[in-house]
């Protein structure tokens, strides 16, 4: 099974090395294909996502991606579009031993990944800038069904749609209508909805009311960072981009150039991202081993400076590997 590994820029390289330490010490039938993309690739090849990288990615079963810097829109966004990974899955879970705003939080944000304002359809004429928001019935139905199927598979009880249908009556109105149409097919799972602004308040003050959240592209991008903030930060936030044929796995954090090269980046998000990849590919037991090891290490107070610890990036990875073994 071929896995494309794209470290990218900044701390992407460091956290990818940490995740690979874990993966390469598990008994997995993977062939890793190392590829280039990002700011450095642009300087080297004249484009941030070289044609060779894109062609090779399409020969692989999954992509493990570190981070991209200024070229992120031309790399990870393009990869999502090219591979049609329409569902962005971002868990937000609190961990024992990690200082956070709230405890016992366990939610999953399912974000539509292909349209909305992130289509990048923009114009500027005579000092007026305009952006076009695309929301389609097809994409809305696909992502809502994905969210309900995830809830069903993980035995979660509720799916909540976030929107702003009272203002954006056509685009969010369509999304909300489709949500409740699909919800009728899942009678055993509760369905409700909130306006996006109220939902942000509830995530900050009462996150336990959420189980699975489903929303449009830009809203999902924003609320997933908010959710990460209440459980300890982006250093703990993994994510997956899932399509019918391909899947891309990347931590929610970016390239973080301010700490790149110092060896202090938190690899937890990337290691949890790798465990999401394992589960997606059918390696459930190995995924559980990785997740339990992460929980054990964090509960013991072993972590990197962003969470108040003193471990280096690879030292954290080594502790997690010891916990697995």
* Pairing verdict, β 190-195 and 158-163: parallel
Q: What is the pLDDT along the chain (325 residues), one digit of tens a residue?
A: 999 999 999 999 999 999 999 999 999 999 999 999 999 999 999 999 999 999 999 999 999 999 999 999 899 989 998 999 999 999 999 999 999 999 999 999 999 999 999 888 999 999 999 999 999 999 999 999 999 999 999 999 999 999 999 999 999 999 999 999 999 999 999 999 999 999 999 999 999 999 999 999 999 999 999 999 999 999 999 999 999 999 999 999 999 999 999 999 999 999 999 999 999 999 999 999 999 999 999 999 999 999 999 999 999 999 999 999 8
Homologous superfamily of the 101-231 domain (CATH): Isopropylmalate Dehydrogenase (3.40.718.10)
Distance of alpha carbon 188 from alpha carbon 18, whole angstroms: 40
DSSP string spanning 22-51?
HHTTS----EEEE---SHHHHHHHSSSS-H
Q: Domain boundaries in the chain?
A: 1-93+235-325, 101-231
- Look at the block and give the residue holding tokens 């944000």: 109
Q: What is the CA radius of gyration of the chain?
A: 19
- Check residue 160 and give its pLDDT: 98
Is 122 within 8 Å of 323 (Cβ atoms)?
Answer: no
- What is this structure's pTM? 0.92
Q: Return the pLDDT at 103.
A: 94
- Number of C-beta neighbours around residue 323 at 10 A: 18
pLDDT of 26-71, one tens digit each?
999 999 999 999 999 999 999 999 999 999 999 999 999 999 999 9
Pure H helices in 155-195: 171-183
34 backbone dihedrals φ, ψ, rounded to 5°? -85, 130
CA atoms within 13 A on the CB side of 146: 25
Q: Is 261 left (phi over 0), alpha (psi -120 to 50) or beta?
A: left
User: Which CATH class, in words, describes the domain spanning 1-93+235-325?
Assistant: alpha beta
Positions marked active-site: 118, 164, 197, 221, 225
Burial (CB count <10 Å: 0-12, 13-18, 19+), residue 9: buried
- Which of 68, 19, 63 is closest to 253 using CA atoms? 68
pLDDT, tens digit, for every residue of 274-297? 999 999 999 999 999 999 999 999
- Equal fold, 1-93+235-325 vs 101-231: yes
């Amino acid at each position: 099974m071929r896995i494309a590994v794209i470290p990218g820029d900044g701390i992407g390289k460091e956290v990818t090395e940490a995740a690979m330490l874990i993966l390469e010490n598990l008994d997995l039938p993977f062939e890793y294909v190392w590829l280039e993309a990002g700011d450095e690739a642009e300087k080297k090849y004249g484009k941030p996502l070289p044609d060779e990288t894109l062609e090779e990615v399409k020969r692989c079963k999954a992509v493990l991606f570190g981070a991209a810097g200024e070229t992120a829109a031309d790399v990870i966004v393009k990869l999502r579009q090219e591979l049609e990974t329409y569902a962005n899955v971002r868990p937000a879970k609190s961990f024992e031993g990690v200082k956070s705003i709230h405890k016992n939080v366990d939610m999953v944000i399912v974000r539509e990944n292909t349209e909305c304002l992130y289509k990048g359809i923009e114009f500027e004429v005579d000092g007026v800038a305009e952006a076009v928001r695309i929301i389609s019935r097809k994409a809305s139905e696909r992502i809502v069904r994905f969210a309900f199927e995830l809830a069903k598979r993980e035995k979660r009880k509720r799916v909540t749609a976030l929107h702003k249908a009272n203002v954006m009556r056509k685009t969010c109105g369509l999304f909300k209508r489709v949500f409740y149409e699909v919800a009728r097919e899942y009678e055993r799972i509760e369905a409700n909805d909130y306006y996006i602004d109220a939902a942000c308040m509830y995530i900050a003050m009462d996150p336990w009311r959420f189980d699975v959240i489903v929303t449009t592209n830009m809203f999902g991008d924003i609320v997933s960072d908010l959710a990460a903030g209440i459980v300890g930060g982006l250093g703990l936030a993994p994510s997956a981009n899932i399509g019918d044929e391909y899947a891309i796995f990347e931590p929610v954090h970016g390239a973080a150039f301010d700490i790149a090269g110092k060896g202090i980046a938190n690899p937890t998000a990337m290691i949890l991202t790798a465990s999401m990849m394992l589960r997606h590919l059918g390696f459930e037991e190995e995924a559980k081993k990785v997740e339990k090891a992460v929980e054990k290490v964090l509960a013991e107070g072993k972590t990197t400076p962003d969470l108040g610890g003193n471990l280096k990036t690879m030292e954290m990875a080594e502790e997690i590997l010891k916990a697995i073994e």
